[in-house]
Amino acid sequence: MVEKPKLKEVPVREAIGMMLPHDMTQILPGEFKGRLFKKGHVVTEADIEPLLSIGKEHIYVLEMPEGFIHEEEAGLRIARAVSGGGLVLTEPYEGKVSMKAKHLGLAKVHEEAVHELNELEGIAFSTIYGDQVVQPGQTVAATRIIPLIMEEARIERLEELARQFSGPIVEVKPFLKKRVGLVTTGGEVFSGRISDKFGPAIRSKVEALGSVVVEQRFAPDDKELIEQEIIRFLDEGVDLILVTGGMSVDPDDRTPGAIAGTGAKVVRYGTPMLPGSMLMVAYKGDIPILGLPGAVMHEPFTSFDVFLPRILAGEKIAEQDMTRLGYGGLRKC
């Protein structure tokens, strides 16, 4: 049961130490109209004159029942309980506390925890979908309580629940600065018959997340030659290798075979997201090797854009990550 806060009328001079139940507005015609005191403000000695100057001989104050806390304190406590690195909390506004990205990064949200905390009555904890790239200042989550006041015990329960999940419930992981090797396959590009469009597209996606393509090398549709270029990058110690083109069903599509031919462990070839279904993710030791299909060259958001930020944030891609892209994965076909 949500208890209603009680309002009591008191002479303003007796209100010191008591809490205002609503915002108080000041109007100075032609000069100012706005909030003089915020809801939840605790009245001090210095506030008496300003209150009298806006005509408040008597004011309503909030009678806080024993064991209850105000929405602003509750909002701040929830935000502190759920947030991890890479986030800054805003001041409460109308009881709402927002959690904003401190820097460019990958938003991580513990979905089950969000559902569980919201089962507590009177709690509203709202987040964006996880695993998205967020810009500095972008709101990742926000919280408020529904009533104006709440039993402190319920907030303590939420804090305890939040601690039971391993790691923070919301955080923004920074991107690591990785060195990326790019192998572009295709006889038509290698021979100069057409000009390369993959290079600029990949560079701009990689650089937007703070990493760098150290070199782009070209190979014809020849399994051994593609393999050699991948191995050369591995020997040079790059952090990630991207191989473009030759990912589908034609006899000249040699990239999946070449990636596997290096001895890399293939996580999966193919993912149920459109565009970008012919993507391959493999690992040679800790080094990810991705085969990128045609759509990555010309579509702004493909399966590559799902996995690249996670890899650059230091995460390892598992087979289930790839098989679970079908639900909601139909973006364009």
Ligand X SMILES: Nc1nc2c(c(=O)[nH]1)N[C@H]1C(S)=C(S)[C@@H](COP(=O)(O)OP(=O)(O)OC[C@H]3O[C@@H](n4cnc5c(N)ncnc54)[C@H](O)[C@@H]3O)O[C@H]1N2
Site residues for ligand X, window 250-269 (CB under 6 A)?
A: 250, 253
Q: Which residue is nearest to ligand MOO (CB)?
A: 295
Per residue in 92-114, is it b (16+ CB within 10 Å) or e — as a string? beebbbbbbbebbbbbbbbeebb
Continuous segment of H or E residues that includes residue 226: helix 223-236
The one-letter code for the residue type at 267 is V
Contacts 24+ apart (CB under 8 A), 161-164: 161/113, 161/116, 161/117, 161/120, 162/81, 162/82, 162/113, 162/117, 163/81
Q: Cα–Cα distance between 201 and 180 in angstroms, integer?
A: 14
Q: Is the peptide bond before 275 cis (omega within 30 degrees of 0)?
A: yes
- Find out whether 223 and 257 touch, Cβ atoms under 8 Å: yes
Q: Does position 303 bind ligand X by CB under 6 A?
A: no
Give the interface size with ligand X as a residue count (CB under 6 A).
22
Q: What is each CA distance from 320 to 69, 114, 271, in whole angstroms?
A: 43, 21, 10
The residue range among 82-90, 127-135, 184-192, 274-282 that interacts with ligand MOO, by the rule CB under 6 A, is 274-282
CB of 275 to ligand MOO, least distance (A): 4
SS3 104: coil
Q: Binding partner of residue 46 among ligand X, ligand MOO, none, CB under 5 to 8 Å per kind? A: none
* Cβ atoms < 10 Å from Cβ of 286: 7
CB of 274 to ligand MOO, least distance (A): 5
Q: Does position 304 bind ligand X by CB under 6 A?
A: no
CB of 106 to ligand MOO, least distance (A): 23
- Find out whether 183 and 243 touch, Cβ atoms under 8 Å: yes
Q: Which of 275, 288, 291, 309 binds ligand MOO (CB under 6 A)?
A: 275
The residue range among 31-39, 65-73, 92-100, 287-295 that interacts with ligand MOO, by the rule CB under 6 A, is 287-295
CB of 180 to ligand MOO, least distance (A): 19
- Choose between 92 and 291: whose C-beta lies nearer to ligand MOO: 291
Radius of gyration of the chain (CA): 28
Q: Residue 91 is encoded by which pair of tokens?
A: 């001041």
Q: Binding partner of residue 246 among ligand MOO, ligand X, none, CB under 5 to 8 Å per kind? A: ligand X
- Choose between 75 and 294: whose C-beta lies nearer to ligand MOO: 294
CB of 131 to ligand MOO, least distance (A): 20
* Cβ atoms < 10 Å from Cβ of 317: 19
Site residues for ligand MOO, window 217-246 (CB under 6 A)?
A: none
Q: Does position 276 bind ligand MOO by CB under 6 A?
A: yes
Q: What is each CA distance from 144 to 114, 140, 167, 315, 320, in whole angstroms?
A: 14, 14, 22, 31, 34
- Choose between 79 and 206: whose C-beta lies nearer to ligand MOO: 206
Site residues for ligand MOO, window 291-310 (CB under 6 A)?
A: 293-296
- Choose between 113 and 273: whose C-beta lies nearer to ligand MOO: 273
Site residues for ligand X, window 127-186 (CB under 6 A)?
A: 184, 186
Residues that bind ligand X (CB under 6 A): 184, 186, 188-189, 194, 196-198, 244-250, 253, 277-278, 293-295, 297
Residues that bind ligand MOO (CB under 6 A): 274-278, 293-296
